[in-house]
Structure 1
Amino acid sequence: MPHHVTLNPRTLISRLPFRARLAVSFAGLFLLVGSALLASVVVLARYGTAQKVQGMAIAYVDAPSSSTQFGPTTPVQPAVGSNAASGAASGEALIRKIDQTVRAVQDTALREMVLWSGVALVVMTVIAGVLGWRLAGRALRPVAAITGAARQISEENLHQRLSLTGPDDELHRLADTFDTMLDRLERSFESQRRFVANASHELKTPLAVQRTCLQVGFPDPLPGDLADVRDDLLATNYEAERLINALLLLARSDRGLDETEPVDLAATARAVAAELAPLASGNEVRVDLDADADAPLVVPGDPVLVRHLLTNLTRNAIQYNQPGGQVRIRLDTATATATVANTGPAVAPEKIPDLFEPFRRHGPDRTASTGHGLGLSIARSIAEAHGAELTARARDEGGLVLTLAFGP
């Protein structure tokens, strides 16, 4: 059976931009008021002409041409006899004919008035819509100015303010509220910057002292039980330090870039592949790099952050893989994209957005048993700091394809 889609006018209007809705509202209001005015004029005109026609009296005058005169005078008494009867009959017929003629003229006049008034109403409604569009644009011009200024304000220039001038109206209060919000954001970002600057020393120093105490206090040779305890404590210390480094890196990338320099992605990818070769060998995963040596992909950015970005993507592809699997890193200079594809278990498409959330990992079907669930969230944060877009899609045969697209 065919499915009939019902169109709700309110739904269609709600999908229009605000300026268009204002113009449609102006035109609709004009059409409604004009229609009511036209209807009242038609009703009153019909009622008034009917009253005038009923108030007209007819006078009969004996004349060879049987002509009649109309006027508000008293009717003349007709003559008696057969001539009077025939005259009365012809007079009644003439009255009916005149009445029909008057009504026809009245209906024709009303139809013409309604027709041309309706045409004029439609034309004026269109004109009202166009004028409403322009008036709405003028009324919303301060909002457009606020929007443009808000787009230019970022983390790097939070000190800027809208400082809207003019009367103390709704738009002025909106701009003041926005400036107040920027004040709070600027204080928050300054607090975050101070935290990132101090957290490295405050958090990593105790871990370094702890690690040194373990290494010095429990030197080799040790009994088997103590050696296992020391190794477990050192491993826990190393994981805690990795977690702190990851959190600090995430906070640093969220702050944006202070300065950039040209970064060769091909050279960085080769260094990352060499660094992660032991991890790939331990997981029985082969890492392949496909890059054009004659046309290297060079992007502006922070070399340290870009290396962390590629490292996180490649490590994620190695860890969440399967024995005998493959990781392929491909750099495309023409499109300024880098892709990291891996084999492995199938990933449901609806689960992909969760992988970019901090401390979120895929289910137990992924083979990795280590990691904090920060790799892809850090990678996306670094990509956004470089004006790049990091996306992921599931491969039909299993695994993921991570695409890093740099802007022009």
Structure 2
Amino acid sequence: MGKPWSWTVGRRFTILYAAGFLGSAIVLLALTYLMSGGRVSSVAPEQPSIGPSDLAAEQQIQDLESRLADVHAQQSHRLLVGSLIALLVMASVSLLLGRILAGHVLRPLRLITAATRRISAENLDQRLAVTGPVDEVKELADTVDGLLERLEASFVAQRRFVGNASHELRTPLATMRASLDVAAAKPEPAAQTVALVGRLRTELDRVDHLLDGFLVLARAQHGTLADRTPVSLGELAREALTGRSGDITAKKLTVDDDSVGRDAWTRGSRALLSRMVENMVDNAIVHNERSGWIRVATERDGTGTHFVVETGGRVLDQAQVDRLTQPFERLGADRTGPEGSCGLGLSIVAAIVAAHGGRLTLLARPEGGLRVEAAMPTAVGFRRGEVKR
């Protein structure tokens, strides 16, 4: 049963109520037994002279007293046995009543817990709205409602900021790009100007990529997935590999995609899932050694649909690999590709997987390289490569 301090509140209430009932029963039975425990005794008065008839009468009285004592002893024994039986019955009844009372007392808390669990980032507008007398339970419910109200305001403000930032920050970027294009379009621009324009364009592309990563990360972490549809992870994988075929060729990478099947279906936002697959493939390409290899596979079992990307390379530290799902975490400068990296790729993947109810696993392969696996829920209604729409 564990230590008493590790028991649940329901179990502790049950023991407390049962102990109270049982203690009361013990005291009641003890008082009953003591009050019925008197013995019958008599003392014959002293006589100056006792005749034969008096001796016979005294003998009869002693016999009656002996019989009364035996009857009293038998009654006391039966009372004691009955009290012990009643005590055992009362112990069982006390546990039952304690359990019932504990359940009745904790029922409002269970209702509050169940209602709170149903409230997520997508329905923070819901409230517990507990009615009844102003007691400890209602004060707790009102406190939770106040907390939900503050959370809703915070989420709304954050989403509003993300939406406004997507417009406000892209406008100056577009203006700077236009200014660079005008400067580069002048007749016979100076060599320094051309070089400066090239460097600035590269930095603007990097800022634009970083901004896009922030927006996708914010949407995956705090946005609503209203566009849930059946999505084939195998199809998204082939699209991502086709789109990065130039980079794969330039780096002379060998790609093994024979295990990419068409039966790896999940349900969610196609745009976010496509970004998840693209980031996993990009990570395998950018942070890979030249003339290395990439294995892309989809698997489906009883636990869900799995999308796996593996790469070769040097042996990595698992403790450092576990931190790669945090923003701006890298495995050192040697893991940064020639085109640079903002350090948001796998953190975006982790946020998208979590938003779809999946699980992301990063494993440093013992023989070297990295294995990234996204385990996603299988789309309901899958039959022979088709999904219920």
The two structures have a TM-score, normalised by structure 1, of 0.75
CA distance in 2, matches of 1:350, 1:115: 67
- Aligned counterpart for 1:339 among listed residues 304, 308, 312: 308
Q: Where do 4+ consecutive residues of structure 1 move more than 6 Å?
A: 39-42, 58-67, 108-112
Q: Which residue of 2 aligns with 1:146?
A: 112
Q: Tell me which amino acid in the other structure corresponds to 1:372.
A: C
Q: Tell me which amino acid in the other structure corresponds to 2:87.
A: L
1:202 Cα deviation after fit: 0.6
1:311 Cα deviation after fit: 1.0
- Aligned counterpart for 1:28 among listed residues 19, 29, 32: 19
CA distance in 2, matches of 1:321, 1:123: 73
- Alpha-carbon RMSD across the aligned residues, in angstroms, is 3.7
- Aligned counterpart for 2:225 among listed residues 240, 243, 257: 257
Identity percentage over the alignment?
35
Relative to structure 1, is the Cα distance of residues 221 and 300 closer, same or farther in structure 2, using a 3 angstrom cutoff?
A: same
Q: Which residue of 2 aligns with 1:204?
A: 170
Q: Which residue of 2 aligns with 1:358?
A: 327
Relative to structure 1, is the Cα distance of residues 67 and 172 closer, same or farther in structure 2, using a 3 angstrom cutoff?
A: same
Is the Cα contact below 8 Å between 2:255 and 2:295 reproduced in 1? yes
String of CA shifts for 1:268-309, please: whole Å, max 9, x gaps: 11111122233344544333223455x433333222211111
**Deviates most, 146-155 or 279-288:** 279-288
Is the Cα contact below 8 Å between 1:345 and 1:366 reproduced in 2? no
Relative to structure 1, is the Cα distance of residues 297 and 102 closer, same or farther in structure 2, using a 3 angstrom cutoff?
A: same
Relative to structure 1, is the Cα distance of residues 403 and 384 closer, same or farther in structure 2, using a 3 angstrom cutoff?
A: same
Q: Tell me which amino acid in the other structure corresponds to 2:274.
A: R
Q: Which residue of 2 aligns with 1:406?
A: 376
CA distance in 1, matches of 2:81, 2:286: 78
String of CA shifts for 1:21-50, please: whole Å, max 9, x gaps: 3212222333445456666777x579x75x
Is the Cα contact below 8 Å between 1:291 and 1:330 reproduced in 2? yes
CA distance in 2, matches of 1:253, 1:174: 31
Is the Cα contact below 8 Å between 1:265 and 1:298 reproduced in 2? yes
Q: Which residue of 1 aligns with 2:276?
A: 309
CA distance in 1, matches of 2:42, 2:291: 109
CA distance in 1, matches of 2:236, 2:298: 11
Q: Which residue of 2 aligns with 1:132?
A: 98
Match runs of 1:198-237 below 5 Å: 198-218=164-184, 222-223=190-191, 226-237=193-204
Is the Cα contact below 8 Å between 1:326 and 1:342 reproduced in 2? yes
Is the Cα contact below 8 Å between 2:267 and 2:377 reproduced in 1? no
CA distance in 2, matches of 1:21, 1:276: 61
Is the Cα contact below 8 Å between 1:31 and 1:122 reproduced in 2? no
Q: Which residue of 1 aligns with 2:383?
A: none
- Aligned counterpart for 2:122 among listed residues 135, 147, 156: 156
Q: Which residue of 1 aligns with 2:384?
A: none
Structure 2 stretches lacking a partner, 5+ long: 379-389
Q: What is the count of residue pairs matched by the alignment?
A: 366
> Which structure has the higher relative contact order (CA within 8 Å, separation 6+)?
2
SS of 1:405 mapped into structure 2: strand
- Aligned counterpart for 2:343 among listed residues 369, 373, 390: 373
String of CA shifts for 1:313-336, please: whole Å, max 9, x gaps: 122223333344322111124542
SS of 1:390 mapped into structure 2: strand
Is the Cα contact below 8 Å between 2:260 and 2:296 reproduced in 1? no
Relative to structure 1, is the Cα distance of residues 34 and 196 closer, same or farther in structure 2, using a 3 angstrom cutoff?
A: same
CA distance in 2, matches of 1:399, 1:159: 45
Relative to structure 1, is the Cα distance of residues 58 and 305 closer, same or farther in structure 2, using a 3 angstrom cutoff?
A: same
Structure 1 stretches lacking a partner, 5+ long: 1-6, 72-97
Q: Which residue of 1 aligns with 2:10?
A: 19
1:206 Cα deviation after fit: 1.0
Relative to structure 1, is the Cα distance of residues 283 and 65 closer, same or farther in structure 2, using a 3 angstrom cutoff?
A: farther
Is the Cα contact below 8 Å between 1:59 and 1:70 reproduced in 2? no
**Deviates most, 275-284 or 383-392:** 275-284
Radius of gyration: which is bigger?
Answer: 1
Relative to structure 1, is the Cα distance of residues 118 and 251 closer, same or farther in structure 2, using a 3 angstrom cutoff?
A: same
Q: Which residue of 2 aligns with 1:288?
A: 256
1:156 Cα deviation after fit: 3.0
1:245 Cα deviation after fit: 0.6
- Aligned counterpart for 1:9 among listed residues 3, 6, 14: 3
Q: Which residue of 2 aligns with 1:278?
A: 246
Is the Cα contact below 8 Å between 1:345 and 1:365 reproduced in 2? no
String of CA shifts for 1:340-364, please: whole Å, max 9, x gaps: 2222333444444422222223345
**Deviates most, 241-250 or 143-152:** 143-152
Relative to structure 1, is the Cα distance of residues 330 and 112 closer, same or farther in structure 2, using a 3 angstrom cutoff?
A: farther
